[in-house]
Every structure is written in C-alpha cells, then in structure tokens.
Amino acid sequence: MTEEKILFEGHPAMFRNDPIGFLLSVVLCVVGVGLVILLVWWLSCRTTTLTVTNERTTLRRGIMSKSLNEVWHRDVRNVQLYKSFFQRIFGVGSIGISSAGQSGIEVSVRGIRNPEGVKDIIDRYRRANLGE
C-alpha cells in the first residue's frame, strides 16, 4: 500500500479570478458596502480548498457548516477546464471533475491557479490506476 501524498493544494483567487468584480468592490468601499462584499468573498475563498493527492481529488468548503466532495482518480470519467479571458491573463481557471458513479460534475471550483497542471496531475494518476 502506497502512502497518500498531497500534490496540489490551493484556494480560489479573488482578484485574478474576477478582476472587474474585485475593483468594483474596492470602489464600493467608499460607501461601505464594498468592505462587506470583500470580506464575504475573502472568507469564501479562504474556506474553499482543492486538494489533489496521488489517489483522489477533494474539495472542502465552509466555516460553520462544512461540505466535502471527493473523487478517487480511478473513478474519474471527465475533467472539464474553463478559462475566461481575464482568467487566462492571470493564470487561473475553473475545473470540474465527474466520476463514473455520478451523472454530473462532483467537484467544481472557480479561480484555481494553473488548472491545466491540476488536470495533468489527475490524468497521470488516473492512467496509473488503469494500469497504462
């Protein structure tokens, strides 16, 4: 039995994921609303963690209530990547992962840095589990 090793761990980016929304929130700080928006957004980003190991991909969310979505690499059926224009400029993107056991996307997160690298890690260990 091999030891599970963390190969990637990251949180969604704020500015790099949505620079226009970030700048708009900063402007709204003048009237006080922007500070609340930025605080809630920051908490949401800090309490969302995508972890990729040599065996599985896990998405954890939440402070008070917690949610956990997990897909074992041997079960991965589909990996989706999406990068908007600004996400491409700032090196972040969205990733979605589905398994053979579910009909929809099980792990989905926006604003992760280097989503292609995350997909490459998943594909490498997915192939290793298939015996290729």
Question: What does the domain layout of the chain look like in residue ranges?
Answer: 6-130
DSSP 3-state percent helix, strand, coil across the chain (nearest 5): 40, 35, 25
Residue type, 16: R
At 131 the pLDDT is: 60
Q: Which tens digit of pLDDT belongs to each residue from 77-102?
A: 999 999 999 999 999 999 999 988 77
The CATH classification of domain 6-130, taken from the options 2.40.160, 1.20.1050, 2.30.29, 2.60.40: 2.30.29
In terms of pTM, does the model score above 0.75?
Answer: yes
Q: Average of pLDDT values for 110-125?
A: 94
How far is residue 16 from each of residues 41, 59, 88, 92, measured CA to CA in Å?
Answer: 13, 20, 9, 7
